[in-house]
Amino acid sequence: MADRISKNSRSSLMSRVKQRDTAPEMTVRSLLHSVGYRFRLKAPKLPGRPDIIFLGRKKVIFVHGCFWHGHHCKRGKLPTSNEAFWNHKISANRTRDARRLEELQLLGWSALTIWECETKTTEKLTSTLANFLEQK
């Protein structure tokens, strides 16, 4: 199936996709702050540049978009046009994510990945975050 908009329009549209301060990321940060956790943002020296960093606890949180990182939910569904490109792109993202998690673990850091779809249920998200941050 062909794209409904021109290549230039698609490029312009995709260039406006935010890489930081996304709605799911802001939801997680707001929730953490409201229950008393303090954190840092963006540590460029850590593998994968985690979204949220707890230096004293040596814990990091990644907030991933379901589409871009290949989550197995309805938001992670790949487009039917240009399938080869998208399969390769999302597969490469998943491989890179797994490699970064391994690198963090080797450095002694614990990591948690929060998916975009998980930010819709506040109670469950709060529990997940608290369990991760309070475990030794």
Residue 117: inside a domain, yes or no? yes
Residue 11: inside a domain, yes or no? no
Residue 21 is given by DSSP the state: S
Residue 3: inside a domain, yes or no? no
Residue 2: inside a domain, yes or no? no
Residue 82 sits in a domain whose CATH number is 3.40.960.10
Query: pLDDT (tens digit, 9 = 90+) per residue, 62-71?
Result: 999 999 899 9
- Amino acid sitting at position 136: K
Distance from CA of residue 14 to its chain's centroid?
A: 17
Residue 8: inside a domain, yes or no? no
Residue 84: inside a domain, yes or no? yes
Task: Give the Å distances, CA to CA, from 68 to 4, 47, 92, 135.
Answer: 21, 18, 10, 29
**Percentage, residues of the chain above pLDDT 70:** 91
Distance, in Å, from the CA atom of 16 to the CA atom of 93, rounded to the nearest integer, reads 19
Report, as an integer, the average pLDDT of 88-116.
96
Q: What is the pTM of this model?
A: 0.85
Q: Report the number of distinct structural domains present in the chain.
A: 1
- Residue 42: pLDDT band with limits 50, 70, 90: confident
Residue 125: inside a domain, yes or no? yes
Mean pLDDT of the chain: 89
Residue 113: inside a domain, yes or no? yes
Please give the pLDDT value at position 88. 95
Structural domain including 54 reads 16-134
pLDDT of 93 over the 90 cut: yes
